Amino acid sequence: MVKVAKNGFSLLLTLILSFIMNTSAFALEFSIHENNSKSLNAIKAVGKIRFDDREKLHQYLLHLTPKKHTAIYLDSRGGSLYGGMKLGRYFKDHYIKTVIQGYKSCASACALAFLGGRDYRDNQWMSSTTTSRLGFHAFSYANNKYENMDSTQKTVSDILKYGKDVGANMDIFIKLFATSSSDMYWFSTKETLDFNIKIWDIENNQFLKENSSQKIEYQEQETKILFIKKYFRELKEIPYKQSWNKLNESMKRAVSFTKYKKWWSKSVESIQILDTQSLRDNKVKINLLYTMKNGKEVCSLDTFTLEKEGNGWFIAKQSYRGCSH
């Protein structure tokens, strides 16, 4: 028998309790959401999805007073692949609406569960917002028990069958399988609307409508952000002439190609995009982190004014401001 000193035992016990508390903190937890009302059981679900969360949710609901509507507010970066699909089927079978609140994320296994949202009439009912994030990617072996090609095919088959069972748009699964398990594909507002998912407009305090002016406006904002992101991501990868040609004629006169090429090739080693924000009047704010050739890092918060010609965008003006990171 190994003897443990009293102080050593106390330390060991503290470490074990700490591990248990930290582990449970990441597990999916259910609680009453602030939107709970006389006609709505509003449930908040935060944390990592486990394989048995369907059963855990069922037990939680048994202790609530039955109401006409039930909605679950999801905030999770994923977890168990099959746990997520079990939850999604449970949402569908028990007429539970799924919601991603503003500034919250639902990704991977959570995104699959989200697709099961239904109202009490058994109609699809999933809701996100203009500031929420819904993300999908391919499954990884760390999230399931399969390890060979046959079993991988079975997992793919199970995912597709799940999508069919909950009536999800199959384009979602094309993006899912096309995205590496180490990456994440975050759906745009336009894509989300196209998938029959309701979008709450945070700024105007209402749902976006198909073909509405708000929808067109958000589509425009997203194309501006995608343009400026692509510009910086490709800047060090494609010939400098191609990126210089994304400046409008006025900018080209202000910054000659010789100066442009010299700056990017001689001074800058790499660029990292930290954040982007669409502004009014065709402006985009972007937070960048430059790694210079001399090893120094430089943070900037730039505002770009864009100009549209035909179906394409061009950079018309740049305003630079330094920042800390």
DSSP 255: S
Instruction: Name which of 257, 239, 238 is nearest 247 in CA terms.
Output: 257
pLDDT digits (tens, 9 = 90+) for 112-148: 999 999 999 999 999 999 889 999 998 765 444 444 5
Q: What order do you get walking across the sheet with 133-136 strand by strand?
A: 105-107, 133-136, 185-186
- The DSSP-derived string for 8-58 is HHHHHHHHHHHHHHHHHHHB-EEEE-TT--SSEEEEEEESBB-TTHHHHHH
CA atoms within 13 A on the CB side of 248: 15
The predicted pLDDT at position 149 comes to 62
- Which tokens belong to 261? 């090429």
Length of the chain: 325
pLDDT tens-place string over residues 261-319: 999 999 999 999 998 888 878 899 999 999 999 999 999 999 999 998 766 789 999 99
Phi-psi region of 35 (alpha: psi -120 to 50; beta: other; left: phi over 0): alpha
Domains delineated in the chain: 26-210 (3.90.226.10), 219-323 (3.10.450.50)
- Determine the average pLDDT of the residues in 46-68: 96
Residue 166, classed as helix, strand or coil, is: coil
Burial of 282: CB neighbours in 10 Å, binned 0-12, 13-18, 19+: middle
The Cα–Cα gap between 265 and 244 comes to 13
Query: Could you give the angle at the alpha carbon of 120 between the alpha carbons of 115 and 125, nearest 5°?
Result: 30
Q: What is the pLDDT of residues 212-266, one digit of tens each?
A: 555 556 666 778 888 999 999 999 989 999 999 999 988 999 999 999 999 999 9
- Tens of pLDDT, residue by residue over 132-190, are 999 999 876 544 444 456 788 899 999 999 999 999 999 999 999 998 888 888 888 88
| pLDDT tens-digit map of 52-62 | 999 999 999 99
CA distance 201 to 205: 5
- What are the backbone dihedrals phi and psi of residue 69, each rounded to the nearest 5 degrees, phi first? -120, 145
Separation between Cα atoms, residue 209 and residue 227, nearest integer Å: 25
Q: Which amino acid type is present at position 94?
A: H
